[in-house]
Amino acid sequence: MDPIRLLRELVALPSVNPAFLPAGDPLGGEERVGAWLAALADRWGLGVERQSVLPGRDNFWVRLEPSGRRRQRVILAPHLDTVAASPEQFRPVRRKGRLHGRGACDTKGSVAAMFSALGEVARRGRRPASTEVLFTALVDEEHAQSGSRALAAARLKADLAIVGEPTRLQVITAHKGDVWLQLETRGKAAHGARPELGRNAVLEMARVVEAIETEYAAMLRPQTHPLLGRATVNVGSIAGGTQPNIVPDRCQITVDRRTLPGESVASVVREVRALLRLHGLRATVADHKGAPCWPLETDPDLPFVRRFMDCVGQRQPRGVQFFCDASVLGHGGIPSVVFGPGDIAQAHTADEWVGLREVEQAAAILTRFLRSLP
Ligand SMILES: [Zn+2]
Protein backbone atom coordinates (compact mmCIF):
# COMPACT_ATOMS: atom_id res chain seq x y z
CA MET A 1 0.00 0.00 0.00
CA ASP A 2 1.20 3.49 -0.90
CA PRO A 3 2.58 4.98 2.34
CA ILE A 4 1.65 8.52 1.31
CA ARG A 5 -2.02 7.65 0.83
CA LEU A 6 -1.93 5.87 4.15
CA LEU A 7 -0.32 8.87 5.83
CA ARG A 8 -3.01 11.26 4.52
CA GLU A 9 -5.73 9.02 5.95
CA LEU A 10 -3.95 8.80 9.29
CA VAL A 11 -3.48 12.57 9.63
CA ALA A 12 -7.17 13.14 8.82
CA LEU A 13 -8.14 10.88 11.75
CA PRO A 14 -7.55 12.88 14.97
CA SER A 15 -5.81 10.95 17.75
CA VAL A 16 -4.84 13.62 20.24
CA ASN A 17 -3.64 12.29 23.56
CA PRO A 18 -6.57 12.88 25.97
CA ALA A 19 -4.09 14.20 28.57
CA PHE A 20 -3.89 17.40 26.48
CA LEU A 21 -7.66 17.90 26.08
CA PRO A 22 -10.68 18.61 28.27
CA ALA A 23 -12.36 15.38 29.45
CA GLY A 24 -14.53 13.77 26.78
CA ASP A 25 -13.24 15.89 23.90
CA PRO A 26 -14.18 14.11 20.65
CA LEU A 27 -10.71 14.66 19.14
CA GLY A 28 -9.12 12.63 21.92
CA GLY A 29 -7.95 9.02 21.93
CA GLU A 30 -6.24 6.64 19.54
CA GLU A 31 -9.23 4.33 18.93
CA ARG A 32 -10.23 5.85 15.57
CA VAL A 33 -6.77 5.33 14.07
CA GLY A 34 -6.18 1.94 15.68
CA ALA A 35 -9.50 0.54 14.51
CA TRP A 36 -8.93 1.89 11.00
CA LEU A 37 -5.53 0.16 10.76
CA ALA A 38 -6.99 -3.02 12.25
CA ALA A 39 -9.72 -3.12 9.58
CA LEU A 40 -7.08 -2.75 6.88
CA ALA A 41 -4.92 -5.51 8.38
CA ASP A 42 -7.95 -7.73 8.58
CA ARG A 43 -8.54 -7.22 4.83
CA TRP A 44 -4.94 -8.26 4.27
CA GLY A 45 -5.62 -11.49 6.13
CA LEU A 46 -3.46 -10.62 9.14
CA GLY A 47 -4.33 -11.48 12.72
CA VAL A 48 -5.35 -8.48 14.83
CA GLU A 49 -5.38 -8.41 18.63
CA ARG A 50 -6.20 -5.70 21.10
CA GLN A 51 -4.28 -5.13 24.29
CA SER A 52 -6.30 -3.12 26.75
CA VAL A 53 -4.22 -0.30 28.26
CA LEU A 54 -6.50 2.48 29.53
CA PRO A 55 -10.31 2.87 29.38
CA GLY A 56 -11.22 3.10 25.67
CA ARG A 57 -7.57 3.07 24.69
CA ASP A 58 -6.11 -0.19 23.38
CA ASN A 59 -2.82 -1.08 21.76
CA PHE A 60 -3.51 -2.81 18.43
CA TRP A 61 -1.27 -5.75 17.56
CA VAL A 62 -1.07 -7.00 13.99
CA ARG A 63 0.78 -10.25 13.49
CA LEU A 64 2.56 -11.49 10.40
CA GLU A 65 3.29 -15.11 11.20
CA PRO A 66 6.35 -16.76 9.69
CA SER A 67 5.84 -19.47 7.08
CA GLY A 68 7.55 -22.03 9.35
CA ARG A 69 8.11 -22.43 13.07
CA ARG A 70 8.73 -19.16 14.92
CA ARG A 71 12.25 -18.77 16.25
CA GLN A 72 12.64 -15.00 16.26
CA ARG A 73 10.43 -11.97 16.57
CA VAL A 74 10.75 -8.38 15.32
CA ILE A 75 8.41 -5.71 16.63
CA LEU A 76 7.47 -2.54 14.74
CA ALA A 77 6.30 -0.13 17.42
CA PRO A 78 5.11 3.35 16.47
CA HIS A 79 2.71 5.33 18.62
CA LEU A 80 -0.69 6.56 17.48
CA ASP A 81 -1.27 9.56 19.75
CA THR A 82 -0.35 13.14 18.94
CA VAL A 83 -0.10 16.37 20.88
CA ALA A 84 -3.01 18.84 20.68
CA ALA A 85 -3.69 20.66 17.40
CA SER A 86 -5.59 23.47 15.75
CA PRO A 87 -8.62 22.27 13.69
CA GLU A 88 -6.92 22.89 10.33
CA GLN A 89 -4.08 20.54 11.30
CA PHE A 90 -6.46 17.60 10.84
CA ARG A 91 -6.80 18.49 7.15
CA PRO A 92 -3.68 17.04 5.55
CA VAL A 93 -2.17 19.37 2.95
CA ARG A 94 0.36 18.22 0.38
CA ARG A 95 2.66 21.02 -0.72
CA LYS A 96 6.11 21.07 -2.31
CA GLY A 97 7.01 17.50 -1.46
CA ARG A 98 5.75 17.72 2.11
CA LEU A 99 2.68 16.59 3.94
CA HIS A 100 1.48 19.10 6.53
CA GLY A 101 -0.78 18.19 9.44
CA ARG A 102 -0.73 17.17 13.10
CA GLY A 103 1.14 13.93 13.56
CA ALA A 104 2.58 13.90 10.01
CA CYS A 105 6.07 13.88 11.51
CA ASP A 106 5.42 12.62 15.07
CA THR A 107 4.69 9.92 14.33
CA LYS A 108 2.14 9.03 11.68
CA GLY A 109 4.87 9.14 9.02
CA SER A 110 6.47 6.20 10.84
CA VAL A 111 3.10 4.46 11.27
CA ALA A 112 2.47 4.78 7.52
CA ALA A 113 5.95 3.56 6.55
CA MET A 114 5.87 0.59 8.93
CA PHE A 115 2.32 -0.42 8.14
CA SER A 116 2.78 -0.21 4.40
CA ALA A 117 5.99 -2.30 4.65
CA LEU A 118 4.05 -4.89 6.64
CA GLY A 119 1.32 -4.88 3.99
CA GLU A 120 3.87 -5.24 1.17
CA VAL A 121 5.39 -8.35 2.75
CA ALA A 122 2.02 -9.81 3.77
CA ARG A 123 0.44 -9.42 0.36
CA ARG A 124 3.35 -9.82 -2.01
CA GLY A 125 6.15 -12.31 -1.96
CA ARG A 126 7.54 -14.59 0.66
CA ARG A 127 7.00 -14.25 4.40
CA PRO A 128 10.02 -14.71 6.67
CA ALA A 129 10.58 -18.41 7.36
CA SER A 130 11.09 -18.27 11.12
CA THR A 131 10.70 -14.62 12.18
CA GLU A 132 7.36 -13.30 13.32
CA VAL A 133 6.77 -9.62 12.58
CA LEU A 134 4.54 -7.95 15.15
CA PHE A 135 3.24 -4.46 14.40
CA THR A 136 2.12 -2.80 17.63
CA ALA A 137 0.26 0.50 17.37
CA LEU A 138 0.83 2.03 20.80
CA VAL A 139 -1.22 4.53 22.79
CA ASP A 140 -0.11 7.33 25.10
CA GLU A 141 3.54 7.88 24.12
CA GLU A 142 3.20 11.64 24.35
CA HIS A 143 2.06 11.55 27.96
CA ALA A 144 2.93 8.58 30.20
CA GLN A 145 3.92 5.85 27.68
CA SER A 146 1.19 3.60 29.05
CA GLY A 147 1.06 1.74 25.72
CA SER A 148 4.71 0.74 25.64
CA ARG A 149 4.65 -0.01 29.36
CA ALA A 150 1.75 -2.43 28.75
CA LEU A 151 3.60 -3.99 25.81
CA ALA A 152 6.74 -4.43 27.93
CA ALA A 153 4.64 -5.92 30.74
CA ALA A 154 3.35 -8.58 28.31
CA ARG A 155 6.89 -10.04 28.49
CA LEU A 156 7.07 -10.96 24.82
CA LYS A 157 10.44 -12.25 23.73
CA ALA A 158 11.76 -10.32 20.76
CA ASP A 159 15.09 -9.86 19.00
CA LEU A 160 14.45 -6.28 18.01
CA ALA A 161 11.86 -3.54 18.38
CA ILE A 162 11.95 -0.66 15.92
CA VAL A 163 10.22 2.27 17.60
CA GLY A 164 8.83 4.82 15.14
CA GLU A 165 9.88 8.42 15.78
CA PRO A 166 11.27 11.11 13.50
CA THR A 167 15.02 10.36 13.24
CA ARG A 168 15.65 11.46 9.63
CA LEU A 169 16.01 7.79 8.72
CA GLN A 170 18.86 7.21 11.14
CA VAL A 171 18.99 4.19 13.40
CA ILE A 172 19.14 5.46 16.97
CA THR A 173 20.50 3.12 19.63
CA ALA A 174 20.74 5.55 22.55
CA HIS A 175 18.73 8.39 24.03
CA LYS A 176 18.70 10.21 27.32
CA GLY A 177 16.42 9.42 30.21
CA ASP A 178 14.35 12.02 32.01
CA VAL A 179 13.96 12.55 35.73
CA TRP A 180 11.56 15.15 37.11
CA LEU A 181 11.99 16.30 40.66
CA GLN A 182 9.88 18.46 42.89
CA LEU A 183 11.67 20.40 45.61
CA GLU A 184 9.93 22.20 48.40
CA THR A 185 11.19 24.65 51.01
CA ARG A 186 9.25 25.42 54.16
CA GLY A 187 9.46 28.70 56.08
CA LYS A 188 7.38 30.48 58.67
CA ALA A 189 4.55 32.87 57.77
CA ALA A 190 4.49 36.35 59.32
CA HIS A 191 3.06 39.79 58.65
CA GLY A 192 4.80 41.57 55.80
CA ALA A 193 5.43 44.53 58.11
CA ARG A 194 7.38 42.29 60.53
CA PRO A 195 9.37 39.99 58.22
CA GLU A 196 11.93 39.38 60.96
CA LEU A 197 9.28 37.27 62.75
CA GLY A 198 9.00 34.86 59.83
CA ARG A 199 11.29 32.72 57.70
CA ASN A 200 11.03 33.30 53.95
CA ALA A 201 10.62 30.04 51.99
CA VAL A 202 11.02 31.87 48.65
CA LEU A 203 14.41 33.22 49.68
CA GLU A 204 15.55 29.75 50.69
CA MET A 205 14.35 28.41 47.35
CA ALA A 206 16.13 31.18 45.47
CA ARG A 207 19.38 29.83 46.96
CA VAL A 208 18.40 26.30 45.99
CA VAL A 209 17.71 27.41 42.38
CA GLU A 210 21.06 29.20 42.27
CA ALA A 211 22.89 26.09 43.50
CA ILE A 212 21.15 23.83 40.97
CA GLU A 213 21.56 26.11 37.97
CA THR A 214 25.21 26.95 38.63
CA GLU A 215 27.01 24.39 40.76
CA TYR A 216 25.00 21.30 39.94
CA ALA A 217 24.97 22.14 36.22
CA ALA A 218 28.76 22.55 36.36
CA MET A 219 29.12 19.23 38.18
CA LEU A 220 27.29 17.50 35.33
CA ARG A 221 29.40 19.02 32.58
CA PRO A 222 32.36 16.62 32.70
CA GLN A 223 30.12 13.53 32.41
CA THR A 224 29.67 12.79 28.74
CA HIS A 225 28.41 9.88 26.69
CA PRO A 226 29.87 9.21 23.23
CA LEU A 227 26.44 9.28 21.52
CA LEU A 228 24.54 11.58 23.85
CA GLY A 229 26.91 14.26 25.07
CA ARG A 230 26.19 15.80 28.44
CA ALA A 231 23.60 15.26 31.11
CA THR A 232 21.65 18.48 31.72
CA VAL A 233 19.48 20.09 34.37
CA ASN A 234 16.78 22.75 34.12
CA VAL A 235 14.63 24.40 36.80
CA GLY A 236 11.31 24.47 34.95
CA SER A 237 8.77 26.02 37.29
CA ILE A 238 8.50 27.84 40.58
CA ALA A 239 5.57 28.63 42.84
CA GLY A 240 5.64 30.16 46.26
CA GLY A 241 3.91 32.60 48.54
CA THR A 242 0.40 34.00 48.28
CA GLN A 243 0.48 37.83 48.48
CA PRO A 244 2.93 40.68 49.01
CA ASN A 245 2.21 41.32 52.68
CA ILE A 246 2.74 37.77 53.95
CA VAL A 247 6.15 36.18 54.49
CA PRO A 248 5.86 33.03 52.35
CA ASP A 249 5.96 29.75 54.26
CA ARG A 250 6.21 27.47 51.19
CA CYS A 251 7.91 27.41 47.84
CA GLN A 252 8.10 24.64 45.23
CA ILE A 253 10.10 24.14 42.10
CA THR A 254 10.14 21.42 39.48
CA VAL A 255 13.39 20.32 37.92
CA ASP A 256 14.00 18.43 34.69
CA ARG A 257 17.19 16.38 34.69
CA ARG A 258 18.13 14.56 31.46
CA THR A 259 20.10 11.47 32.37
CA LEU A 260 22.79 9.35 30.73
CA PRO A 261 22.92 5.55 30.76
CA GLY A 262 23.87 4.40 34.26
CA GLU A 263 21.94 7.17 36.02
CA SER A 264 18.63 6.65 37.77
CA VAL A 265 16.00 8.55 39.74
CA ALA A 266 17.66 7.37 42.95
CA SER A 267 21.14 8.51 41.89
CA VAL A 268 19.84 11.95 40.85
CA VAL A 269 17.93 12.39 44.12
CA ARG A 270 21.10 11.47 46.01
CA GLU A 271 23.14 14.06 44.09
CA VAL A 272 20.65 16.86 44.70
CA ARG A 273 20.35 16.05 48.41
CA ALA A 274 24.15 16.07 48.74
CA LEU A 275 24.30 19.47 47.01
CA LEU A 276 21.70 20.91 49.41
CA ARG A 277 23.55 19.51 52.42
CA LEU A 278 26.79 21.03 51.22
CA HIS A 279 25.17 24.49 51.20
CA GLY A 280 23.18 24.01 54.38
CA LEU A 281 19.95 24.39 52.40
CA ARG A 282 16.75 22.76 53.63
CA ALA A 283 14.39 21.41 50.98
CA THR A 284 12.54 18.16 50.40
CA VAL A 285 13.34 16.35 47.15
CA ALA A 286 10.80 14.00 45.55
CA ASP A 287 10.30 12.16 42.27
CA HIS A 288 7.73 14.12 40.23
CA LYS A 289 7.26 11.92 37.16
CA GLY A 290 5.10 9.07 38.33
CA ALA A 291 6.55 6.62 35.80
CA PRO A 292 10.28 6.15 35.30
CA CYS A 293 11.86 7.37 32.05
CA TRP A 294 15.10 5.47 31.71
CA PRO A 295 17.89 6.25 29.26
CA LEU A 296 18.15 3.95 26.22
CA GLU A 297 21.36 2.18 25.34
CA THR A 298 21.13 -0.74 22.95
CA ASP A 299 24.17 -2.75 21.88
CA PRO A 300 24.64 -1.96 18.17
CA ASP A 301 26.41 -5.29 17.69
CA LEU A 302 23.36 -7.42 18.43
CA PRO A 303 22.65 -9.43 15.28
CA PHE A 304 19.21 -7.95 14.47
CA VAL A 305 20.36 -4.41 15.25
CA ARG A 306 23.31 -4.87 12.88
CA ARG A 307 21.06 -6.38 10.25
CA PHE A 308 18.74 -3.37 10.40
CA MET A 309 21.63 -0.88 10.35
CA ASP A 310 23.02 -2.68 7.30
CA CYS A 311 19.63 -2.35 5.59
CA VAL A 312 19.65 1.39 6.28
CA GLY A 313 23.28 1.62 5.13
CA GLN A 314 24.49 3.03 8.45
CA ARG A 315 27.77 1.90 9.98
CA GLN A 316 27.90 3.82 13.27
CA PRO A 317 25.17 3.90 15.91
CA ARG A 318 23.69 7.31 16.76
CA GLY A 319 21.96 8.91 19.71
CA VAL A 320 19.22 11.53 20.16
CA GLN A 321 18.29 13.82 23.03
CA PHE A 322 14.56 13.11 23.16
CA PHE A 323 12.91 10.41 25.23
CA CYS A 324 10.51 7.88 23.66
CA ASP A 325 8.92 4.42 23.93
CA ALA A 326 12.20 2.71 22.99
CA SER A 327 13.59 3.07 26.50
CA VAL A 328 10.48 1.47 28.01
CA LEU A 329 10.72 -1.54 25.68
CA GLY A 330 14.50 -1.69 26.13
CA HIS A 331 14.10 -1.66 29.90
CA GLY A 332 11.56 -4.47 29.47
CA GLY A 333 14.25 -6.64 27.87
CA ILE A 334 13.58 -6.05 24.17
CA PRO A 335 16.60 -4.69 22.27
CA SER A 336 15.17 -1.46 20.84
CA VAL A 337 16.16 1.16 18.31
CA VAL A 338 14.38 4.28 17.08
CA PHE A 339 13.83 4.92 13.39
CA GLY A 340 11.50 6.93 11.21
CA PRO A 341 11.04 9.67 8.61
CA GLY A 342 10.93 13.34 9.57
CA ASP A 343 12.91 15.59 11.88
CA ILE A 344 12.10 16.07 15.56
CA ALA A 345 12.45 19.82 14.88
CA GLN A 346 9.07 19.69 13.10
CA ALA A 347 7.35 17.57 15.75
CA HIS A 348 4.81 19.29 18.03
CA THR A 349 5.00 22.55 15.97
CA ALA A 350 2.10 24.70 14.74
CA ASP A 351 3.00 23.75 11.16
CA GLU A 352 4.05 20.11 11.53
CA TRP A 353 5.15 18.43 8.31
CA VAL A 354 7.10 15.50 6.97
CA GLY A 355 9.00 15.10 3.69
CA LEU A 356 7.16 12.67 1.42
CA ARG A 357 10.35 11.27 -0.05
CA GLU A 358 11.55 10.34 3.42
CA VAL A 359 8.29 8.53 4.16
CA GLU A 360 8.68 6.57 0.92
CA GLN A 361 12.33 5.82 1.69
CA ALA A 362 11.41 4.64 5.19
CA ALA A 363 8.79 2.30 3.76
CA ALA A 364 11.28 0.94 1.21
CA ILE A 365 13.97 0.38 3.86
CA LEU A 366 11.54 -1.38 6.19
CA THR A 367 10.19 -3.55 3.37
CA ARG A 368 13.74 -4.54 2.45
CA PHE A 369 14.48 -5.32 6.09
CA LEU A 370 11.36 -7.45 6.58
CA ARG A 371 12.12 -9.32 3.36
CA SER A 372 15.67 -10.00 4.56
CA LEU A 373 14.54 -11.66 7.79
CA PRO A 374 15.27 -15.36 8.22
ZN1 LIG B 1 6.56 10.64 19.00
- Nearest 10 degrees: Cα torsion 192, 193, 199, 200: 40
Q: What is the full per-residue pLDDT of the chain (374 aa) written as tens digits?
A: 899 999 999 999 999 999 999 999 999 999 999 999 999 999 999 999 999 999 999 999 999 999 999 999 999 999 999 999 998 999 999 999 999 999 999 999 999 999 999 999 999 878 999 999 999 999 999 999 999 999 999 999 999 999 999 999 999 999 999 999 999 999 999 999 999 999 999 999 999 999 999 999 999 999 899 999 999 999 999 999 999 999 999 999 999 999 999 999 999 999 999 999 999 999 999 999 888 899 999 999 999 999 999 999 999 999 999 999 999 999 999 999 999 999 999 999 999 999 999 999 999 999 999 999 99
| Last residue in a domain, options 235, 255, 287 | 287
Cα 115 to ligand 1 centre (Å): 16
- Measured in angstroms, how far is the CA atom of residue 322 from the centroid of ligand 1? 9
Are 28 and 79 in a shared domain?
A: yes
Answer yes or no: do 276 and 183 share one domain: yes
Give the gyration radius of the chain's Cα atoms: 23
Report CA(152)–ligand 1 centroid distance (Å): 18
Closest CA to 171 of 181, 161, 179, 180: 161
Q: How far is the CA of 140 from the centre of ligand 1 (A)?
A: 10
Under 8 Å CB-to-CB from 345, ≥6 apart: which residues? none
Distance (Å) from CA 129 to ligand 1 centroid: 32
CA of 16 to the centre of ligand 1 (A): 12
Q: How far is the CA of 246 from the centre of ligand 1 (A)?
A: 44
Q: Are 355 and 331 in contact (CB under 8 A)?
A: no
Distance CA 145, CA 141 (A): 4
Answer yes or no: do 150 and 193 share one domain: no
Q: Do 33 and 159 have their domain in common?
A: yes
Task: Give the tens place of pLDDT for each residue, 236-247.
Answer: 999 999 999 999
pLDDT at 1 (0 to 100): 82
Contact 372, 131 (CB under 8 A): no
State how far the Cα of 20 lies from the Cα of 145, in Å rounded to an integer: 14
Do 245 and 268 sit in the same domain of this protein?
yes
Query: End of a domain among 287, 304, 325?
Result: 287
Alpha-carbon distance of 196 to 277, in angstroms, equals 25
Q: Ligand 1 centre from 325 Cα, in Å?
A: 8
Task: Determine if the peptide bond prior to 107 is cis (ω within 30°).
Answer: yes
Running DSSP on this structure, what letter comes out for residue 216? I
Output the CA 164–ligand 1 centroid distance in Å: 7
Q: Are residues 21 and 111 in the same domain?
A: yes
What CATH number has the domain bearing residue 181? 3.30.70.360
Q: How remote is the CA of residue 275 from the centroid of ligand 1, in Å?
A: 34
Distance, CA 236 to ligand 1 centroid (Å)?
A: 22
CATH number at residue 141: 3.40.630.10
339 CA to centre of ligand 1 in angstroms: 11
Please indicate, yes or no, whether residues 20 and 100 belong to a single structural domain of this protein.
yes
The amino acid present at 231, given as its one-letter code, is A
Task: Let me know whether 46 and 146 are in one domain.
Answer: yes
Which of 243, 263, 287 lies at the terminal end of a domain, its last residue?
287
Q: Are residues 140 and 90 in the same domain?
A: yes
Report pLDDT for 126. Answer: 84
Does 97 share its domain with 14? yes
- Determine the pLDDT at residue 125: 73
d(CA 16, CA 141): 11
In the chain, the N- to C-terminal Cα span, in Å, equals 23
Provide the β-strand partners of residue 72: 131
Give the C-alpha separation, 336 to 40, whole Å.
26
Distance of alpha carbon 319 from alpha carbon 248, whole angstroms: 44
Gap from CA of 247 to ligand 1 centroid (Å): 44
For residues 184 and 318, state if they share a domain: no
Please check whether residue 159 is in contact with residue 274, taking contact to mean a CB–CB distance below 8 angstroms: no
- pLDDT (0 to 100) of residue 16: 96
User: Is residue 5 classed as helix, strand or coil in its secondary structure?
Assistant: helix
CB 183 within 8 A of CB 253: yes
Q: Please state, in angstroms and rounded to a whole number, the distance separating the CA atoms of residues 230 and 220.
A: 7
Q: How far is the CA of 353 from the centre of ligand 1 (A)?
A: 13
Among candidate residues 140, 78, 141, 136, the one with its CA nearest the CA of residue 109:
78
Q: Tell me which residue range forms the domain holding 253.
A: 177-287
Give, in order, the Cα–Cα distances in Å from 338 to each of 77, 192, 251, 359. Answer: 9, 55, 39, 15
DSSP H or E stretch at residue 272: helix 265-278
Contact 356/4 with Cβ under 8 angstroms? Answer: yes
Q: How many domains does the chain have?
A: 2
Residue-level pLDDT at 124: 87
Sequence letter at residue 74: V
Q: Report the alpha-carbon distance of residue 258 to residue 273 in Å, rounded.
A: 17
Same domain membership, residue 196 and residue 54:
no
In degrees rounded to 5, what are phi and psi of residue 245? -95, 25
